């Protein structure tokens, strides 16, 4: 049974609108501190002291007691943000306590729009 063209158009628009939710958000910082130029080395291991609910898609939710592996630090208004393995995103350094530092040698590199891309 052939479908009317309007039905096919509505189906296409519906599917297209479902996939169009990604966005580049404002930068949280101009630079980040990493263990190497690709930010692939682990900087530290941290444990969450409190719950943190993400205010937008650049951030991740953190639960008290959760272990986080930190690959980068952002300097933002006196607060440091770090990202976590598996689910990438940021959270304030004030909600975690670093339990182990893997390196003291760091590099400061510029952030890109891709660092703050939301999917």
Q: What confidence tens digit (pLDDT) does each residue in 25-41 have?
A: 788 889 999 999 998 89
Q: Is 10 helix (H, G, I), strand (E, B) or coil?
A: helix
Question: What residue segments make up the domains of the chain, in order of their start?
Answer: 22-118
Task: For residue 18, give the DSSP letter.
Answer: H
Tell if the pTM clears 0.85, that is, is over it. Answer: no
Phi, psi of 43 (to 5 degrees): -85, -45
Confidence of residue 2 (pLDDT cuts 50, 70, 90): low
CATH superfamily of 22-118: SH3 Domains (2.30.30.40)
pLDDT of residue 22: 60
**Tokens representing 84?**
């976590």
Phi, psi of 13 (to 5 degrees): -65, -40
């Amino acid at each position: 049974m052939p479908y009317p063209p309007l039905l096919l158009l509505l189906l296409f628009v519906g599917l297209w609108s479902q996939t169009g939710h990604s966005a580049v958000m404002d930068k949280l910082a101009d630079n980040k501190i990493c263990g190497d130029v690709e930010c692939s080395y682990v900087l530290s291991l941290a444990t969450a002291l409190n719950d943190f609910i993400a205010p937008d898609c650049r951030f991740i939710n953190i639960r008290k007691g959760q272990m986080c592996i930190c690959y980068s630090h952002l300097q933002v208004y006196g607060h440091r943000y770090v990202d976590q393995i598996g689910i990438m995103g940021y959270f304030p350094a004030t909600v975690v306590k670093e339990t182990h530092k893997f390196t003291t040698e760091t590099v400061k590199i510029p952030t890109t729009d891709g660092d703050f891309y939301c999917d």
